[in-house]
Structure formats: C-alpha cells, structure tokens
Amino acid sequence: MLATQLHDVLAGALARLAIGLIGVLQPHNFRLVTRVLFPAGAIVGLAIASVALSAIFGAPGSLILPLGLPDLPFHARLDALSCFFLLLLGSVSAGVSVFAAGYFRRGEGTPPGLQCLYYHVLLGSMALVLVADDADRDHAGDPYNNRQSRGEMRVARPRAT
C-alpha cells in the first residue's frame, strides 16, 4: 500500500514540474498563470499533504527507480519523517499558491509564467529531496562538493617533513 502512496507523491512532484513547464510556455499569459496554474499548484499541494497524512503512521516503503546515473538508480523512501515534512510542504505550499495567485500585477517585474516555473520546480524538487533515500549512501549527485571537501581536507592536513 505504501508503494502506491510513494507513487502518488512522485506523481505530485512531477505534476509540479509540469505546471512550471506550462507556465514557461506562456510566460506573459497573466490569466493562465493566476487563474489556472497557481490554483492547480495549490490542489497538488493539498494532494501531497493528504497522501502524507494518510501514510504518516504506516510502515515505511521504498522504491528503486531507474533514473539518474548509469548503475546508480534513484532510491525513494516514504517513512514517518518524510511524511511529516511532506505534510508541511504540501499544506504550506497550498496556502502560498492561493496567496501568490492574487499577488501578481500586470506588467510589473518578471513575467508570471517564469515565476510559475521557478516556484513549481522548487516545490517539486523539494518533494523529491524529501523522499530521496540515497543521500546518505553516496553523494554521486553532487560531485563538485565532494571534490571541494576533499580539497579542504588536504589543505587542513599539514605536510610531514
């Protein structure tokens, strides 16, 4: 049962990414962004929050997706801690999405479709980070920081003479 709830969370994250892409395809369409895309984002946020609430007291579930680097798939896990933070993320983002839909003004600043992309890609990525299960195993997704930390460790050690 948790595998389907994990699938629902992943589908919600992908829906966020799709909403952002629709917004960037019509960056100056004020009505589409404020009347359709941000309210749709609020609905997706409530859906993620409801899935997290229903799974918070269940047994942890995991899933291995064939995404990412070769021979290094994406491991996803839905446990009580990730459900708690998904509940927070979904419910808060629903309120922010409803507020943001009325916040835009015509002809001021960055085009609304571009802001829609930034906002929904951020929220979708945050949901994916919350269900990621392979952050403690290997940091293959962030090789720059690994090289940087190794370099800092070399600097910190004095040379033996």
How confident is the prediction along the chain (161 residues), in pLDDT tens digits per residue?
Answer: 456 899 999 999 999 999 999 999 999 898 999 999 999 999 999 999 999 999 999 889 898 888 777 778 888 999 999 999 999 999 999 999 999 888 877 777 788 999 999 999 999 999 999 999 876 554 444 444 444 444 444 444 455 65
Taking the model in full, what pTM does it have?
Answer: 0.79
143 belongs to a structural domain: yes
45 belongs to a structural domain: yes
- What is the CB neighbour count within 10 angstroms for residue 144? 8
Containing structural domain, residue 61? 2-156
For 50-79, how does the pLDDT look when each residue is reduced to its tens digit (9 = 90+)?
A: 999 999 998 898 988 887 777 788 889 999
Please report, for residues 74, 82, 141, the alpha-carbon distance to residue 138 in angstroms, rounded to integers and kept in the order given: 11, 19, 8
Total of domains in the chain: 1
DSSP character for 158?
Answer: P
161 belongs to a structural domain: no
